[in-house]
Chains A and B, each alone.
Chain A
Amino acid sequence: MAHFKITTKALNKNDDVLFKSMLQIVNAQLTAEWSFHDDAEIILVDMEEREGQQFWQQQQAQRVLIAYAREKPAEATWFLPRPIRVKPLIQTLNALAAAQQFLPTAAASSTTTPATTPSISSIPSTPAIKTASPVVSTASLSQDAFDPEQSLIGLLKQAVAKQQAMCFQIAAATPLFFSAKRQQCLTAQLQLNTLAATPTHLYNVSQEQIQCEPIAETAVIKAIAEQGGQFYPLAAIIWLTALSASKGRLIVGHLLQQPVKLKHWPNLAVLPHQPHHIRLAAFMTRNSATLATVAEKTQVSIAQVVDFFNACQLEQLVEHTEQAALLNKNNVSDAKRSLFRGILKRLLQ
């Protein structure tokens, strides 16, 4: 459990004593451990006292300050209403603890918060937190990175390593069988378009949601006979899972700013795909660019670009380049582009 130290500034004697004892009373209901220390970094400041206001002006950039007043001052991120009561105290301290754990350097204190700031519980999205952006963005990136090991891919890898035939399933949906002998998977026909329209399925959930059961090789053969379905190369299932489970989160160990290029086209005869993947393959095999540039030039959403990039990374198609290198492709007229659209439309009819 995290431990926080707190002190007070400019509180009158009564309030000060009251605060110290209340802190003890509420301790069991706090998500972190809080103790009173004179030299703490988190400070409750009485904003109705001149001394408190001056202290606020001087210290707001360096310390985490909680405004103590009848009305919430506009400049305060953290606020405890006067007089001190149990419930607001618990709420404030818990919200602050959550934000501090999110922001290890505790820089998020006292930047101006608009008067409209709704409530303590929404604090992580207030502008005050955003000012600590370098910390926030790395924290959220690592927290939000796509870790293939946490998806079906991790389970498949374990099955491959153990040379064990397996059955993977969520709820009552069609199972996926892995045959160790063939190094292939077996399931009903996979349609990326259908999957993309389904909120949760085997290929986009985290491992804990997947039931996996060792089975005999013969059970895989029996399943084909009984349920039909078709064999897929392991690569196709890994690819499909990466596309589905990434949800716009960059794969672990990669930086969004790094220019990348594809060594060659993914084998789209085997790997499930949608029309935008074809566009991305065309652009990314010819140009070295950051993913943001890829999104801009191909008019594909950044989330879809990231999903595709992750799948390509697992297929070992990605090449990192020192610098972006874009081909000058200005010669495609609007008339040509609309002709291409027309042909595509006719072909996909």
Chain B
Amino acid sequence: MSEIKIVFTGSMGAGKTTAIAAISEIPVISTDVRATDADVLQRKETTTVAMDYGELTLEDGQKLRLYGTPGQQRFEYMWKILARGALGLVILIDNSGSDPIGELVRYIDNFREFINETSAVIGISHMDTNPEPDLQSYYSYLQERGIELPVLPVDARSSDSVVMLIQALLAMLEFG
């Protein structure tokens, strides 16, 4: 086993950079730039253009690497590069976006092969401010497509919440 990594992907502003920062033991290395697109600017000041990187040191000295993909569509080519060889995928979806379920579809389609070979967990962020769509709507979509992945509310600012997602991912990898 060469590099041990988990990849965070998902919609713009969903909290990928924040989630990695919440659990990484080093300050997150980010390629965030000041947002220039009007669309991004409306929502936040910076956006990731290449990747985020954080890490955790395991008891035996090995490093668990945490990568975040850029959220904007124009950087899609980075997604697969980052996911290659990863243990599993954390998909974060911003529930306050205009079409969060549509966003989820996009990520699932994009990573379908990877998910089939490994596994994934879906975290829905910003549910505190935007409770709709609810979890059931996400599950209904997934069930129609025969996808049995966990969908859990997450607050990327809380490490407990992010840890919960990774626990679910590890359980899926081992038992799911």
Which residues from chain A sit less than 8 Å from chain B, CB to CB? 263-265, 267-270, 275, 278-279, 281-283, 285-286, 297-298, 329, 332, 335-337, 339-340, 342-348
Which residues from chain B sit less than 8 Å from chain A, CB to CB? 1, 4, 23, 56-60, 62, 64, 135, 139, 142-143, 148, 150-154, 161, 163-164, 166-168, 170-176
Shortest A295–chain B CB gap in Å is 12
Pairwise interchain contact A281-B166, C-beta atoms closer than 8 A: no
User: Could you say which residues of chain A place their CB within 8 Å of the CB of B56?
Assistant: 343, 346-347
Shortest B114–chain A CB gap in Å is 15
Name which of A269, A283, A298, A348 has the most chain B CB atoms within 10 A of its CB.
Answer: A269
A283 vs B175: C-alpha distance when bound (angstroms): 5
Pairwise interchain contact A343-B150, C-beta atoms closer than 8 A: no
Quick one: closest A residue to B155, CB to CB? Answer: A269
User: Could you say which residues of chain A place their CB within 8 Å of the CB of B166?
Assistant: 343, 347
Pairwise interchain contact B58-A344, C-beta atoms closer than 8 A: no
Shortest A33–chain B CB gap in Å is 56
User: Could you say which residues of chain B place their CB within 8 Å of the CB of A340?
Assistant: 170, 173-174
Pairwise interchain contact A298-B58, C-beta atoms closer than 8 A: no
Quick one: closest B residue to A267, CB to CB? Answer: B135
Pairwise interchain contact A347-B23, C-beta atoms closer than 8 A: yes
Name which of B1, B135, B174 has the most chain A CB atoms within 10 A of its CB.
Answer: B174
User: Could you say which residues of chain A place their CB within 8 Å of the CB of B58?
Assistant: 342-343, 345-346
What 5 pairs across the A-B complex have the smallest Cβ distances?
Answer: A282-B171, A282-B176, A283-B175, A269-B153, A265-B150
A347 vs B169: C-alpha distance when bound (angstroms): 13
User: Could you say which residues of chain B place their CB within 8 Å of the CB of A344?
Assistant: 167, 170
Pairwise interchain contact A268-B139, C-beta atoms closer than 8 A: no
A267 vs B168: C-alpha distance when bound (angstroms): 12
Pairwise interchain contact A285-B174, C-beta atoms closer than 8 A: no
Pairwise interchain contact B152-A264, C-beta atoms closer than 8 A: no
Shortest A287–chain B CB gap in Å is 8
Shortest A238–chain B CB gap in Å is 17
A115 vs B64: C-alpha distance when bound (angstroms): 62
A281 vs B165: C-alpha distance when bound (angstroms): 13
Quick one: closest A residue to B58, CB to CB? Answer: A342
Pairwise interchain contact B170-A285, C-beta atoms closer than 8 A: no
Quick one: closest B residue to A297, CB to CB? Answer: B175
Pairwise interchain contact B152-A285, C-beta atoms closer than 8 A: no
Pairwise interchain contact A265-B59, C-beta atoms closer than 8 A: no
Quick one: closest A residue to B172, CB to CB? Answer: A282
The listed residue (A267, A285, A337, A346) touching B176 by CB distance below 8 A is: A285
Pairwise interchain contact B163-A265, C-beta atoms closer than 8 A: no
Extra A-B contacts (6), CB below 8 Å, given A343-B166, A348-B163:
A264-B150, A268-B152, A270-B153, A339-B62, A346-B56, A347-B166
